[in-house]
A and B are shown apart, each in its own frame.
Chain A
Amino acid sequence: MKNKHLCIISFLIFVLLTGCSKKELKVPLEDVGMVDSMAFDYIDENQMRLTVAIPQYSPDAEKDTQTFSITTDLVSSGIVEIEKQSDKKIVFNQLRVVLVNEDFARKGNVRKIVQHLYRNAEVGNKVLIAVVKDNAEAILKGDYPDKPSINFYLNNLLEPSINTAFNPNTNIHDFMYSITNPVVDTVLPYVEKRGEKLEIKGVAIFKGNHMHEVIKPEEALVIQALSGQKNLAPLHLDINAGRGEEKVMIDLIESSVKKESNKNMESPKLTIFLKIKGTLSEYKGEREAHLFTAERISDLEKDVNKQLEQDISEFLARLNKTEVDPAGLSEEFRMYHHGKWTSKKTRELIRKLDVNVHVETSIISTGTLK
């Protein structure tokens, strides 16, 4: 009996209340413009130039991407302006890449933009962020005849791949994490347009909210290694070990890092043990003809160790001077510190930090030939 009552009542409610609720028309899938890449350019203090790229699925269209650009001060009002120009409703469901102009980054506005996207529930976590030299709009609107579309190109370029392992592959979550964490400084890949191709030139390091400098891929690899990434890119070394110029290329298979701090805030000392395993893929230099026996290889390993230690120490000494901590070294000290940790403490720490690096290389094989 109860079920019968329930059914009748629910039926009546459904029928009667559909008049009361106001439902906005659901925009079906084909009338929705899914933004794939966004670019922000710096114009002046209040204004920025926002560009969006929407892939075009219809095979009748000439170009396979639609781009729209407007100048605005707030991101959302910019989107509304763009919708005036586009025939489709703009949604951010499939956003993949966000490009930021270098000026924009240096002025410290990136955090606001990314925070806005972070707040938006539509945006997923796979969004990759990159800093661009010169004009981001030009990159999106550029012509890349041999690539399917700018969206795919950018996405594939910035995604993690073994040869660009120095690329930190920062997505929105990583960015928000590092920019709000007093321990770590943000790193973003730095992209430059050369003719018809895009290239990841290096890595941009932030100090606080502002972009600070650009470093070369080799040094960026050090950052990745120190933060514990397992698969690193092929390592290219110039060894000056008394046997003239030698160039070594090691394909790294695995790397592990262990950090030990002396827990002292006054004179901080950090010991880093870096173990890398790899295969020797190419060697150019004096010893070329002699690398057959295991002894010789272990000699080479020792030289590689020394060289790496030197390189890393140099890089860290630079960090000392500039007081940035992209690899999160101060985390080792925060773990043993009671009380609140602020970014000021990080800067102080990095300035005083004394690092001792020990590298242990083991070359597993030299390929299929000897």
Chain B
Amino acid sequence: MNEIPEQIVAKLKQEINEVDDVKLKMIATEEGDVTVIYFSSLIEKMTLQTMVTIPLANNLKQIHQMAQYLDPKDVKGVVKKLNAGQTLLFFHETNALLSVDTYSAPTRAITDTETESTVIGPQDAFTESLETNISLVRRRIQSSMLKNENRIVGSEANIKISIMYMDNIVSHENLDDLRNRIDQVDYPLFTDISVLKQLIEDNPLSPFPQYYMTVRPDSICRYLLDGRIVVFMDNSQLAIVCPTSFFEMFVSIEDYYNRWTTASLLRMLRFFGFFLTIMITPMYISALTFHPEILPYELLLNLQESRSKVPFPPLIEVLFIELIIEVLREAGSRMPAKVGQTIGIVGGIVIGTAAVEAGLLSNILIVLVATSALLSFLPPIFLMSNTSRFIRYIFILSAGLFGLFGQMLAFAWLIHHLLSLKSLGTHYMTPAIPRKPNDLLDSVIRFPTKYIRSKTGISKVQKK
């Protein structure tokens, strides 16, 4: 305790050498000299003034009451606090090291979301600041049962994450499991929470996302009250929900704001759209290459006529146009908005029409591929629609190999894969093999709200 103050300051200076952001100031106060150390990029000038400078000059008692006392020997811990945006106050006279929380880095304002917008319902979305996000949730669930555990992950970057759950509803097994997984992760930097998600998933090799990700606070609150666990990360707009099931990938929060008939219709559309999008183009290939007798007579004559101009077999034709659409999509998402629109129209319409005229593709195929591309955007979760793009290629290849038989084999593989997936220990296809009959009230068809009372079986809620 009786170390020479300069030594302590020297040690600190060593750690933060060549960091020009750090400002060291000597201020003379009533209690002697005080060295103030802080990161200027993390702290706003107004905050510094109100919290540190002015009280130091006038009202030292305030500082002593508000600040936290630190152990000067724990250099690493002290530096961590400094990095987190706190101001360190070193009183030379008393050898006391205090820290005041002054973190006030600029954050984005709360806007509405572009990726998950709805027509009705609240429009706010999460931002990159952890505090804002947590506040968006707390203002909706005003209960002390809403627990919040903070962790630091990332061995190099030291990023804050926060695990939230309702203590009286959640299953503690799931919670322990999740905590274990997060604690075992060893990775230098997490730029986004989806990186963390891939490291704590049950089956990282599978094409399907096993946790639900969203930017909407109302979704998160609904899942919290259903007994799920939510993880937030600082600097990440998304939040992940676990455990989740396959059918929830087709659920959009707007379903709960619409009336049950519309909601059921839209949900069925999304669900069957997923299966249609992976089946349509392979059906085209298998019908034309292997089983022409499936198609009705008049359609077959039309097809023969349009295909007689095309030099490629159906498999190559389909792969060709699927790749063109992927290229259009990728290129369109990277281009700046002003240029992107024109190129999109040019690419889509002109290439499509010109290709048919030139005899590279048949026009029926373009209709089918465009439909299936549109259908692949139906699932509200972006990751899921990417998955369906990938799976479609598997089906196309197997249809090209064995026709309808290959498609069914691929379908059997898909079903088995989905059945064996687990999300935080519970099965991914849960409502299909329901743990509770009430689960079915909210799966593909949504029954009127007054019947949906009980929690879903997947969260294994505590019994009252």
Contact = CB atoms under 8 A, between A and B. Distances in A.
Asked if the two chains touch in their complex, CB atoms less than 8 Å apart, one says yes
A59 B305 contact: yes
B313 A28 contact: yes
B288 interface: yes
A26 B290 CA distance: 8
A172 to B, nearest CB: 14
Interface string A347-362: 0000000000000000
Contacts of A91: 292
Most chain B CB inside 10 Å of its own CB: which residue of A3, A32, A57, A58: A57
Given A3-B205, A26-B313, A29-B303, A57 B308 contact: yes
A94 interface: yes
Describe B's contact surface by its main secondary structure: helix
Nearest to B314: A28
A122 interface: yes
A32 B292 contact: yes
Interface in A1-47: 3, 26, 28-30, 32, 34
Interface string A105-138: 0000000000000000010100000000000000
A124 B293 contact: yes
Nearest to B290: A26
A138 B288 CA distance: 33
A55 interface: yes
Contacts of B300: 29, 34, 94
A124 to B, nearest CB: 6
Given A26-B313, A28-B313, A28-B314, A122 B293 contact: yes
Contacts of B297: 94, 96
Nearest to A151: B297
A30 B304 contact: yes
B286 to A, nearest CB: 11
B304 A57 contact: yes
Contact of B293 (A30, A55, A58, A94): A94
Interface in B284-328: 288-290, 292-293, 297, 300-301, 303-305, 307-308, 313-314
Given A3-B205, A57-B305, A94-B300, A29 B288 contact: yes
A28 B307 contact: yes
Interface string A136-155: 00000000000000000000
Contact of B292 (A34, A59, A96): A34
A75 to B, nearest CB: 19
Given A26-B289, A30-B307, A91-B292, 4 more contacts: A29-B292, A58-B308, A59-B305, A93-B292
Interface of A: 3, 26, 28-30, 32, 34, 55, 57-59, 91, 93-94, 96, 122, 124
28 contacts: A26-B289, A26-B313, A28-B288, A28-B313, A28-B314, A29-B288, A29-B289, A29-B292, A29-B303, A29-B304, A29-B314, A30-B307, A30-B308, A34-B292, A34-B300, A55-B301, A57-B304, A57-B308, A58-B305, A59-B305, A91-B292, A93-B293, A94-B292, A94-B293, A94-B297, A96-B297, A122-B293, A124-B293
Interface of B: 205, 288-290, 292-293, 297, 300-301, 303-305, 307-308, 313-314
